[in-house]
Structure 1
Amino acid sequence: MAWNSYGLDQEAQKLVLAAKLRDQTSLKQSYKMRMAVAYGLERFWGEHLRLQKNQPNKSQYWQETWDVLDRIMHKAGVSLPNDQVNADDVKGVQAMSEKLWKMDLADQRVALAVLISLCDCIVWWTQRHK
């Protein structure tokens, strides 16, 4: 099987440019995203919830990044949970977290590897568009 980049670089640039159009300060989230990957899928996914009420542009950037990851993983044949959840919906947050924790370990590892690469691309484009 040949390497497939799944358009990570192009998707990253689209994310960065959309964030830049919304709010320049959102771009700083790119570096935080890359650092957050080390804590796993559930924590990365949940970060948009923390920002939802007080920093909606930043929250949107995180959510859009997760949505792109979801689309890429779907192309790769991996099902990634992506329930739309509000921060105040405790049961929804819990259900989504459990779905992430119950993912097949190999699928988790692949998703994390792709997320790392996607975030690396996002950081690169952020540095070019600041």
Structure 2
Amino acid sequence: MEIALVGLVTLFFAVALYLILSKSIIRMLLGVVVLGNAVHLLIFTIGRLTTEIPPIIPAGTYVPLEGSANPLPQALILTAIVISFALFAFLLVLGYRAYEELDADNTDNMRLAEPEDAPRPPFSY
């Protein structure tokens, strides 16, 4: 099972790299989302996929039992999901505003575009 997930993580990273290197802003944003999902799946895979006992400390002991599950990767993934969703929402609004201002979705056209209400430099001799 872990071998299949490693292959899936590799595929996600390859697709994310391909999308991020694109010239379209929407493709770049989708690449960031796929990259975030690849990292989440990687952390999940690193946290082991074996069936283990829950990480509950029994009464009268101070440490968990031997072979208990590690809850840290799951907590990291939950936190990362929230952060990546907020980052995607911010990037989506930023891309929309750039499209509104520059009337371009392609990064090459954005470099050449000039906002309509951009201040003009004063004429100098």
Instruction: Give me the TM-score of the superposition, normalised by structure 1.
Output: 0.32
The structure carrying a bigger helix percent of its residues is 1
Q: TM-score, normalised by structure 2?
A: 0.33
- Structure number with the bigger relative contact order (C-alpha 8 A, sep ≥ 6) is 1
Q: Which has the larger radius of gyration?
A: 2
